[in-house]
Structure formats: C-alpha cells, structure tokens
Amino acid sequence: MFKLLSVTMVLGLALVAIVASTASAYTPEEQAAFREEARQLTEQARAQEAQAETARDLAQQIFIAEYKKADGVDDQADFKKITALQKWLQAGAHKHAKASGLRETALSLILAAYRFGVLAALVDEQAQNERSRATWQRQAADALLANDPDPEASAIADELNRQAAKDDRDAAGSESEAENLRERADRTNARAAALIQRAVELETAP
C-alpha cells in the first residue's frame, strides 16, 4: 500500500510542477474551472478520509469483540484447569499440580507478549504513515520551489519542509518504540517457554 501511495504521490507532484510552470498560460475561465475541480477533489478526499476513520473504528470494534470472545473461551478453560488442579492434589500428584501452576504463569506471560506484539504492529503502521507524509511533504516543497517561486510559495515550501522534519522525528520515535515492544514480546515469550519446559519436566518425571 505504501509503495503504491508513494508512486501516486510522485506522479501527482510531477504534474504539479508542470502545471505550476505553465499556470500563467491559462485563461481566467480555465483557471476558474481548475479551481472548481480542485474544490471537488478536496471534498472527495475529505469524504475518503472520513471513510477511512469509520473503517478504523469498525476494525477496533471487531478486534475488541473477538478478543472478548477469546477471553470467554479462556474463562471456560480456567474453570476446567482449577477442577483438574483439585483432582491432582486429591490424587497426591503434587508435581502435576506444580506444573499446572507453572503453565498458568506461562499463559499469563504469553498473553502479555501478544499484547506487546499487537501494540508493536500498530506503532509500526503509525511510523510508516509518518514516513510517507514526510516524503510527500518534501516532494511537494520541491515541486513548489522548482519553478522560480514567489515569496508565498517559498513560505509554503518552508512550512512543508518543517512539517516533514517533524514527521521524520516522530517516525523515528515510533520505530524505536515498536522495536522496544517487539523485544519485550520476545523476552516475555522466552520466559514463558522456559516455564513450559519446566512444567513438562515435572509432568514427565517418574
């Protein structure tokens, strides 16, 4: 998606540069028609942004609903595990009882690692969006400056470059945050794996 977006932006900005260099050749009527077309395109873009926001809200609702459904299944499993633990203790199988406790702790860690992974994916997406915006803003600034711009165009280009620099800084922060989250997920999964290995040893001990 981001590669396609980048190509689309580059082609669009190339057109901007060409149009900017020939704008003075258009008649007032043609310029009025261009303004009307630009207004319509802007309205369409804003409508699509609203659609994207609605889609994100729906995705969040679906994720939360499915997550709650999974939690419900976990609750059923918990009841069975508690009952099984009671039976192990009644049977004097203390190693199996201890193994059950280790597996429960491991499961908590696995769930924590899962949350870290989900957050990392979301932050990664944010970083890519920030990088994409920065690229578009720099290209737009270059297009404005490519044709002997007036002071107003230069001021707009300066603002675009400042915003691009900020988006790049934000992206760097997001990338670092995502990497930290992935590392936490890896460490947490490793701890869970060690606990499960210990549980297996207890369950298979003579």
17, 146 Cβ separation under 8 angstroms: yes
pLDDT at 6 over 50: no
Give yes or no for a contact between 178 and 123, defined as CB atoms under 8 angstroms apart.
Answer: yes
Verdict on whether the full-model pTM lies above 0.85: no
User: 131 and 168 in contact (C-beta within 8 Å)?
Assistant: yes
Average pLDDT over residues 65-86: 94
The residue-averaged pLDDT of 59-64 equals 94
Q: Are 158 and 202 in contact (CB under 8 A)?
A: no
How far is it, in rounded angstroms, from Cα 106 to Cα 192? 4
Mean pLDDT score, 80-96: 93
Q: pLDDT tens across 96-118, in order?
A: 999 999 999 999 999 999 999 99
Q: How far is CA 175 from CA 2, 123, 130, 183, in A?
A: 16, 7, 10, 12
Return all residues near 84 (Cβ < 8 A) that are at least 6 apart: 100
| Tens digits of residue pLDDT in 29-58 | 999 999 999 999 999 999 999 999 999 999
Q: What is the largest CA-CA distance in the chain?
A: 95
Q: Is the pLDDT of residue 5 over 80?
A: no
148 falls in which pLDDT band (50, 70, 90)?
low
Structure letter (DSSP) for residue 1: -
Question: Which pLDDT tens digit goes with each residue over 151-203?
Answer: 888 999 999 999 999 999 999 999 999 999 999 999 999 999 999 999 999 99
Lowest mean pLDDT among 22-26, 144-148, 160-164: 22-26
Decide: 156 and 144 in contact? Cβ < 8 Å.
yes
